[in-house]
């Protein structure tokens, strides 16, 4: 064994760092990046975060995403992720390499924390190293590396548990504060896995109290510390959670029904890839496709794929859990039971429709019904496997091989054979039966060798040597199989234009940039990019293009309902055109200022665009076409005639009102207008039915010319979170800024706060007096007024 506990700790820390480095090098050496959502969504948000900070703006409002997006309320925006925020503060254009490094570093933090925790639990170094390797590279953790928010929250879990253990054990205020901060960062992931991790943290805290000889006395002695953690945690989480709840109330996200959620259940045949990693084609190149449960093999029943289903965490892990843990009974020994229970519950959760647990939790447990993938429970399974494997290696080194219970061992062996046979049979449906059988044949000698290796030593020293050798092999196995695999790596060149565009991509960006400069800073035309593939979906925010679409499951609900830009515009078929937005030539399209569209095909091949006869072709093929559309409305407009109607009624009906020229504006009936401005109009029901009421003219006939031309307005300064406008009005009028209306925006006229109006259903407006005025719209989501409104919304109270 190691000469001293401290030497053993340092050896384990160095070993884990070496394994992590070897894994990271799989991407770096082969010029690979973590693909899909990691780059199409999260990296784009990271670039926006950096550019906003370096431009002097806050990153709270993203003007380049769906015409405007409350980033501060979006869990995927990285604003409340300290490592990303710190890096963005110093680097205005962070690279994809830097981004992947930050994400992967979270797993190293967790692995090292697990090693330190293992020492506190009395594990030998080999046990700690195995646990850390499983945690960093095991199963779905490697498969879903592209889900950045999940990986970063998951990576911090062992650090939170370690700090909690130290805080309660030593009554350390410093450790308690550290735990609270880490736990809050995990919770602010605000997705299913962070929610489950928070539940596990709570379970660990309760367990720490219950296992004491005198739980009541122990609890009382730690009560001040627990109160400190609770109060500090609530204070740190309150604002982000309130803003996310506010966004949820205004978002497009529909209620998730149980039947839909259950399509993401973990199909039981996937147990086979816990034993043989490629038995269902999980590690095959994308060109060959995988043949496990998923969209292609179980259409209509299964919406998972190999990245969701993957569970391989090393041959030694499977052997220890099945042989020493279950058949040998060590999995239920003292200290292990809590992790065994966590693994079992998480597995039942992930199985979804195949056990009664998830449907019950979906119906009765708070928060569960907000998420659509029970298969996400596999992250918790991998977490439990990491800790259980550490305990099992420690048991082996101290006590040798377990005594098998034949009443458990025989059925377990038969179950393993049955699930492997099932996997082969399942693979035959895709014509891959022999490939599946070959994958089993390849791993069989590994298990035989591991059994011989573990069975031979008779002393603790020799068993430690054998365990260390087996752990080293498993670490190599995880690095070569799970790091840089077809599940989590693609060539950097595919996404390279997000850093430095070349060829066609450079031509598109250069053309759009030149066109935007031609208009000048005040005009601010918008662009819609459709059909150019995944990496282009959020490229607008990387290059400062104000786009009307993007890639994000969360969007402002009224905008999404009426404009229907879609979640994934990587093909033209994802762009829908509802009644309220039948084509770019419609009134709403013009008000949005969509002046440029970028397509992967000529406009005449798009049925809903073919009616355009006056478009200007800016770029014609061979793989991308850019068109300039006529008659886009200016970003700001003045109107002297006001109609009042229920904006939400139009949204609910999926209709956009017809307006009588640019001198007319519709204001929501919940808004406060000055007495001179409030005019009678037909009710909302008549408006929604399509009968556009004749607006009441509040001005004398002699001022008809002023009605038609009430003045002029021009943007004089612009940032994503602040717009300054110079107005020269002939009469009292309403200024409309064609950017999305959303809570938290405030407006001042000549330095005086004015009510923000909801103009023309979707946009921001304000009343301005006759004469010259300076109007400033500012996004202040952290104001007491907005936070109070958000809280009232959560509590179901009127503001």
Task: Please write the tens of the pLDDT for every residue from 577-608.
Answer: 999 999 888 899 999 999 999 999 998 888 76
Q: Nearest 5 degrees, angle CA 729-CA 735-CA 736?
A: 150
* Domain contains 251: no
* Domain contains 252: no
**What pLDDT is stored for residue 521 in this prediction?**
83
**What pLDDT is stored for residue 25 in this prediction?**
96
* Domain contains 429: yes
Q: Please, which residues have CB within 8 angstroms of residue 482's CB and are 6 or more apart in sequence? A: 23, 137, 138, 142, 143, 277, 312, 488
Domain stop point among 490, 512, 539: 490
- What would the mean pLDDT of 41-55 be, rounded to a whole number? 97
> Quick one: CA dihedral 82, 85, 87, 90, positive or negative?
negative
**What pLDDT is stored for residue 675 in this prediction?**
73
Three-state DSSP class for residue 729: strand
**Where is average pLDDT lowest: 291-300, 437-446, 680-689?**
680-689
577 & 711 share domain: no
176 & 278 share domain: yes
Three-state DSSP class for residue 438: helix
Q: Is the per-residue pLDDT at 676 higher than 80?
A: no
DSSP 479-508: HHHHTT-TTT-EEGGGGGGGTS--HHHHHH
Three-state DSSP class for residue 718: strand
Q: Nearest 5 degrees, angle CA 556-CA 562-CA 563?
A: 80
**What pLDDT is stored for residue 159 in this prediction?**
98
Three-state DSSP class for residue 556: strand
* Domain contains 255: no
- What would the mean pLDDT of 437-460 be, rounded to a whole number? 97
More confident residue, 796 or 711: 711
474 & 593 share domain: no
Characterize the bridge pairing of strands 757-759 and 722-729.
Answer: unpaired
Whole-angstrom Cα distance, residue 499 to residue 94?
8
Three-state DSSP class for residue 116: helix
326 & 188 share domain: yes
Domain stop point among 600, 628, 656: 628
**What pLDDT is stored for residue 685 in this prediction?**
35
Before 473, cis peptide (omega within 30)?
no
Cβ 174 vs Cβ 227: under 8 Å: no
Q: Which of 68, 211, 115, 255 is nearest to 740 (CA)?
A: 68
**What pLDDT is stored for residue 672 in this prediction?**
87
**What pLDDT is stored for residue 411 in this prediction?**
97
Q: Is the per-residue pLDDT at 684 higher than 60?
A: no
233 & 277 share domain: yes
* Domain contains 256: no
**What pLDDT is stored for residue 659 in this prediction?**
75
123 & 226 share domain: yes
614 & 554 share domain: yes
**What pLDDT is stored for residue 288 in this prediction?**
74
Q: Is the per-residue pLDDT at 610 higher than 70?
A: no
Residue 75 backbone zone (phi > 0: left; psi -120 to 50: alpha; other: beta): alpha
- What would the mean pLDDT of 434-452 be, rounded to a whole number? 97
678 & 539 share domain: no
324 & 414 share domain: yes
**Where is average pLDDT lowest: 1-5, 244-248, 680-684?**
680-684
**What pLDDT is stored for residue 674 in this prediction?**
82
Q: E strand or H helix at 296, and its extent? A: none
Read off the pLDDT band of 182 (50, 70, 90): very high
Q: Which residues span the domain enclosing 108?
A: 5-244+264-490
Read off the pLDDT band of 520 (50, 70, 90): confident
**What pLDDT is stored for residue 681 in this prediction?**
38
Q: What is the pLDDT of residues 650-666, one digit of tens each?
A: 999 999 998 766 679 99
543 & 420 share domain: no
Question: How many domains does the chain divide into?
Answer: 3
Q: Please give the sequence-ordered ranges of beta strands (E in DSSP) within 605-721, or none if there are none.
A: 616-620, 625-628, 636-639, 641-645, 664-668, 711-719
Read off the pLDDT band of 707 (50, 70, 90): low
Read off the pLDDT band of 704 (50, 70, 90): low
More confident residue, 553 or 611: 553
pLDDT above 90 covers a percentage of the chain that reads 86
Read off the pLDDT band of 2 (50, 70, 90): very low
Whole-angstrom Cα distance, residue 717 to residue 573?
37
640 & 623 share domain: no
521 & 648 share domain: no
Domain stop point among 466, 490, 514: 490
**What pLDDT is stored for residue 501 in this prediction?**
94
Q: Is the per-residue pLDDT at 762 higher than 70?
A: yes
pLDDT above 70 covers a percentage of the chain that reads 94
């Amino acid at each position: 064994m190691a000469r001293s506990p401290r030497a053993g700790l340092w050896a384990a820390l160095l070993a884990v760092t070496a394994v992590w480095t070897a894994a990271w090098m799989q991407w770096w050496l082969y010029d690979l990046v973590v693909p899909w959502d990691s780059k199409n969504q999260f990296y784009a948000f990271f670039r926006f975060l950096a550019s906003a900070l370096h431009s002097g703006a806050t990153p709270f409002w993203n003007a380049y995403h769906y015409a405007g997006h409350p980033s501060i309320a979006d869990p995927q925006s990285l604003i409340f992720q300290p490592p990303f925020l710190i890096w963005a503060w110093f680097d205005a254009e962070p690279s994809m390499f830097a981004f992947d490094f930050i994400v992967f570093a979270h797993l190293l933090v967790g692995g090292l924390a697990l090693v330190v925790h293992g020492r506190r639990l009395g594990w030998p170094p080999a046990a700690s190293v195995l646990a850390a390797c499983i945690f960093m590279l095991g199963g779905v953790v490697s498969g879903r590396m592209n889900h950045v928010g999940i990986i970063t929250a998951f990576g911090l879990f062992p650090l939170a548990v370690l700090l909690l253990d130290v805080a309660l054990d030593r009554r350390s205020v410093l450790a308690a504060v550290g735990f609270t901060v880490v736990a809050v960062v995990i919770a602010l992931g605000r997705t299913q896995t962070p929610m489950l991790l928070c539940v596990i943290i709570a379970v660990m805290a309760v367990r720490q109290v219950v296992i004491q000889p005198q739980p009541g006395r122990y609890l009382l002695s730690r009560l001040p510390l627990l109160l400190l953690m609770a109060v500090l945690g609530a204070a740190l989480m309150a604002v982000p959670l309130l803003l996310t709840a506010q966004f949820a109330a205004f978002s497009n996200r529909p209620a998730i029904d149980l039947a839909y959620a259950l399509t993401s259940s973990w199909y039981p045949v996937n147990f086979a890839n816990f034993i043989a990693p490629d038995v269902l084609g999980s590690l095959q190149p994308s060109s060959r496709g995988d043949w496990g449960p998923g969209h292609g093999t179980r259409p209509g029943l299964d919406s998972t794929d190999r990245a969701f289903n993957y569970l391989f965490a090393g041959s030694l892990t499977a052997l220890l859990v099945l042989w020493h843990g279950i058949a040998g009974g060590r999995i239920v020994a003292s200290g292990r039971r809590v992790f065994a229970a966590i693994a079992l519950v998480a597995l039942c959760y992930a199985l979804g429709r195949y056990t009664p647990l998830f449907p019950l939790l979906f119906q009765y447990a708070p928060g569960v019904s907000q998420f659509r993938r029970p298969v996400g429970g596999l992250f918790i399974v991998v977490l439990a496997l990491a800790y259980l494997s550490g305990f099992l290696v420690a048991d082996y080194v101290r006590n040798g091989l377990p005594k098998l219970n034949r009443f458990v061992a025989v059925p377990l062996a038969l179950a393993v054979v049955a699930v492997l046979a099932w996997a082969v049979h399942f693979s035959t449906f895709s014509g891959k039966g022999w490939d599946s059988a070959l994958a089993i044949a390849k791993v069989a000698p590994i298990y035989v060798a591991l059994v011989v290796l573990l069975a031979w030593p008779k002393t603790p020293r020799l068993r430690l040597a054998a365990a260390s050798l087996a752990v080293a092999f498993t670490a190599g196995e995880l690095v070569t199989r799970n790091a840089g695999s077809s599940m989590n790596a693609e060539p950097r060149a595919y996404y390279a234009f997000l850093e430095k565009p070349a060829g066609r991509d450079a031509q598109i960006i250069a053309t759009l940039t030149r066109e935007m400069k031609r208009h000048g800073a005040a005009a601010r035309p918008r662009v819609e990019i459709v059909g150019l593939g995944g990496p282009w979906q959020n490229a607008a925010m990387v290059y400062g293009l104000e786009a009307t679409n993007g890639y994000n499951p969360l969007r402002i609900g009224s905008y999404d309902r009426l404009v229907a830009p879609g979640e994934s515009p990587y093909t033209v078929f994802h762009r829908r055109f509802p009644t309220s937005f039948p084509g770019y030539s419609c009134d709403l399209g013009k008000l949005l200022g969509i002046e440029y569209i970028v397509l992967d095909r000529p406009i005449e091949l798009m049925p809903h665009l073919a009616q355009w006869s006056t478009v200007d072709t800016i770029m014609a093929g061979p793989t991308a076409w850019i068109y300039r559309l006529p008659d886009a409305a200016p970003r700001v407009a003045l109107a002297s005639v006001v109609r009042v109607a229920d904006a939400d009624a139009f949204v609910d009906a999926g209709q956009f009102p017809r307006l009588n020229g640019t001198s007319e504006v519709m204001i929501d009936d919940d808004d406060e207008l000055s007495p001179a401005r409030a005019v009678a109009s037909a009710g909302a029901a008549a408006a929604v039915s399509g009968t556009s009421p004749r607006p009441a003219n509040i001005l004398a006939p002699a001022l008809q010319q002023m009605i038609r031309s009430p003045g002029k307005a021009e943007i004089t300064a612009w940032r994503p979170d602040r717009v300054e406008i110079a107005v020269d009005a002939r009469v009292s009028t309403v200024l409309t800024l064609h950017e999305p209306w959303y809570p938290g925006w405030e407006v001042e006229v000549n330095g005086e706060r004015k009510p923000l109006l909801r103009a023309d259903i979707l946009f921001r407006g304000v009343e301005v007096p006759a004469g010259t005025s300076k109007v400033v719209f500012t996004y202040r989501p952290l104001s007491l007024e907005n936070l109070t409104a958000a809280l009232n919304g959560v509590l179901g109270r009127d503001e």
